[in-house]
Amino acid sequence: MVEPRLRSRSLKRVQRRTPGGRTVTHYRREKPNKHRCGRCGKILNGVSNDIPSRIRKLSKSEKVPTRRYAGVLCANCLERLIRYETRFEVKFRYPEFKDIELRRDLTLEKFLPRGWWQDISSEK
Ligand SMILES: [Zn+2]
Protein backbone atom coordinates (compact mmCIF):
# COMPACT_ATOMS: atom_id res chain seq x y z
CA MET A 1 0.00 0.00 0.00
CA VAL A 2 1.17 3.55 -0.72
CA GLU A 3 2.08 6.14 1.87
CA PRO A 4 -0.88 7.38 3.90
CA ARG A 5 -0.59 10.92 2.52
CA LEU A 6 -1.01 9.58 -1.03
CA ARG A 7 -4.20 7.70 -0.20
CA SER A 8 -6.09 10.99 -0.06
CA ARG A 9 -8.76 11.17 -2.75
CA SER A 10 -8.20 14.90 -3.17
CA LEU A 11 -5.03 14.05 -5.10
CA LYS A 12 -5.36 13.32 -8.79
CA ARG A 13 -3.80 10.09 -10.08
CA VAL A 14 -2.12 9.85 -13.45
CA GLN A 15 -0.62 6.73 -15.01
CA ARG A 16 2.87 7.28 -16.44
CA ARG A 17 5.14 4.91 -18.34
CA THR A 18 8.72 5.04 -17.07
CA PRO A 19 11.77 4.76 -19.36
CA GLY A 20 12.20 1.23 -18.06
CA GLY A 21 8.75 0.25 -19.34
CA ARG A 22 6.95 0.02 -16.00
CA THR A 23 3.64 1.80 -15.50
CA VAL A 24 3.61 3.86 -12.34
CA THR A 25 1.01 6.09 -10.68
CA HIS A 26 1.90 9.73 -10.19
CA TYR A 27 -0.03 11.81 -7.67
CA ARG A 28 -0.84 15.40 -8.47
CA ARG A 29 -2.52 18.10 -6.47
CA GLU A 30 -5.76 19.31 -8.00
CA LYS A 31 -5.74 22.78 -9.53
CA PRO A 32 -7.97 25.36 -7.85
CA ASN A 33 -10.97 26.83 -9.67
CA LYS A 34 -10.47 29.50 -12.30
CA HIS A 35 -10.75 33.11 -11.22
CA ARG A 36 -14.07 34.78 -11.92
CA CYS A 37 -15.25 38.32 -12.46
CA GLY A 38 -16.42 39.94 -9.23
CA ARG A 39 -19.46 41.47 -10.91
CA CYS A 40 -20.82 39.03 -13.51
CA GLY A 41 -19.07 35.78 -12.57
CA LYS A 42 -17.53 35.18 -15.99
CA ILE A 43 -14.21 33.29 -16.08
CA LEU A 44 -11.35 35.78 -16.31
CA ASN A 45 -9.00 35.52 -19.25
CA GLY A 46 -5.26 35.88 -18.75
CA VAL A 47 -5.32 35.02 -15.05
CA SER A 48 -3.40 31.86 -14.14
CA ASN A 49 -4.93 29.33 -11.84
CA ASP A 50 -2.56 26.85 -10.31
CA ILE A 51 -1.42 25.75 -6.90
CA PRO A 52 0.19 28.67 -5.01
CA SER A 53 3.72 27.22 -5.04
CA ARG A 54 3.73 27.18 -8.84
CA ILE A 55 2.03 30.59 -9.15
CA ARG A 56 4.87 32.07 -7.06
CA LYS A 57 7.38 31.05 -9.71
CA LEU A 58 5.58 32.99 -12.46
CA SER A 59 6.48 36.56 -13.35
CA LYS A 60 4.04 39.33 -12.57
CA SER A 61 2.94 39.63 -16.20
CA GLU A 62 2.22 35.90 -16.39
CA LYS A 63 -0.08 36.05 -13.38
CA VAL A 64 -2.46 38.83 -14.34
CA PRO A 65 -3.02 41.27 -17.25
CA THR A 66 -1.50 44.73 -16.83
CA ARG A 67 -4.63 46.78 -16.55
CA ARG A 68 -6.80 48.36 -13.86
CA TYR A 69 -8.86 45.83 -11.90
CA ALA A 70 -7.04 42.92 -13.58
CA GLY A 71 -7.93 39.72 -11.78
CA VAL A 72 -11.01 41.37 -10.27
CA LEU A 73 -13.30 42.44 -13.14
CA CYS A 74 -13.70 41.09 -16.67
CA ALA A 75 -13.00 43.36 -19.64
CA ASN A 76 -16.71 44.11 -20.21
CA CYS A 77 -17.42 45.07 -16.62
CA LEU A 78 -14.25 47.16 -16.49
CA GLU A 79 -15.31 49.09 -19.57
CA ARG A 80 -18.69 49.74 -18.02
CA LEU A 81 -17.00 50.88 -14.81
CA ILE A 82 -14.72 53.32 -16.62
CA ARG A 83 -17.61 54.72 -18.65
CA TYR A 84 -19.73 55.04 -15.51
CA GLU A 85 -16.95 56.85 -13.68
CA THR A 86 -16.35 59.19 -16.61
CA ARG A 87 -20.05 60.05 -17.02
CA PHE A 88 -20.25 61.19 -13.40
CA GLU A 89 -16.99 63.13 -13.65
CA VAL A 90 -18.34 64.98 -16.66
CA LYS A 91 -21.67 65.64 -14.92
CA PHE A 92 -20.08 67.18 -11.83
CA ARG A 93 -17.08 68.94 -13.38
CA TYR A 94 -18.61 70.66 -16.38
CA PRO A 95 -21.55 73.03 -15.77
CA GLU A 96 -22.99 72.47 -19.27
CA PHE A 97 -23.61 68.80 -18.42
CA LYS A 98 -25.01 69.52 -14.98
CA ASP A 99 -28.58 68.49 -15.85
CA ILE A 100 -27.95 65.12 -17.51
CA GLU A 101 -29.86 62.36 -15.82
CA LEU A 102 -27.75 59.52 -14.54
CA ARG A 103 -28.72 56.56 -12.46
CA ARG A 104 -26.39 55.21 -9.84
CA ASP A 105 -25.35 51.59 -10.28
CA LEU A 106 -24.16 50.12 -7.01
CA THR A 107 -22.99 46.88 -8.63
CA LEU A 108 -20.31 48.98 -10.33
CA GLU A 109 -19.79 51.55 -7.61
CA LYS A 110 -18.77 48.97 -5.05
CA PHE A 111 -15.53 48.47 -6.98
CA LEU A 112 -14.63 52.16 -6.90
CA PRO A 113 -12.54 53.48 -4.01
CA ARG A 114 -14.31 54.21 -0.73
CA GLY A 115 -15.75 57.71 -0.64
CA TRP A 116 -15.70 58.07 -4.42
CA TRP A 117 -19.29 59.31 -4.55
CA GLN A 118 -18.77 61.87 -1.76
CA ASP A 119 -15.61 63.18 -3.43
CA ILE A 120 -17.14 63.51 -6.86
CA SER A 121 -20.51 64.93 -5.81
CA SER A 122 -19.07 67.56 -3.45
CA GLU A 123 -16.42 68.74 -5.94
CA LYS A 124 -16.90 72.32 -7.07
ZN1 LIG B 1 -17.74 40.81 -15.52
Model pLDDT for residues 38-81, shown as the tens digit of each residue: 999 999 999 999 999 999 999 999 999 999 999 999 999 999 99
pTM, full prediction: 0.78
Model pLDDT for residues 2-45, shown as the tens digit of each residue: 899 999 999 999 999 999 999 999 999 999 999 999 999 999 99
Residues with CB under 5 A from ligand 1 (ion): 37, 39-40, 42, 74, 77
Residue type, 101: E
Q: What is the pLDDT of residue 121?
A: 86
Q: Tell me the β-bridge partners of 16.
A: 24
The rounded Å distance from CA 11 to ligand 1 centre is 31
Domain ranges for the chain: 1-30, 32-124
Distance CA 13, CA 9 (A): 9
Q: Which of 119, 48, 47 is nearest to 88 (CA)?
A: 119
The rounded Å distance from CA 61 to ligand 1 centre is 21
> Using an 8 Å Cβ cutoff, are 23 and 16 in contact?
yes
**Cα angle value 50/34/7 (rounded, 5°):** 55
What is the maximum span of the chain, computed from C-alpha positions, in angstroms?
A: 79
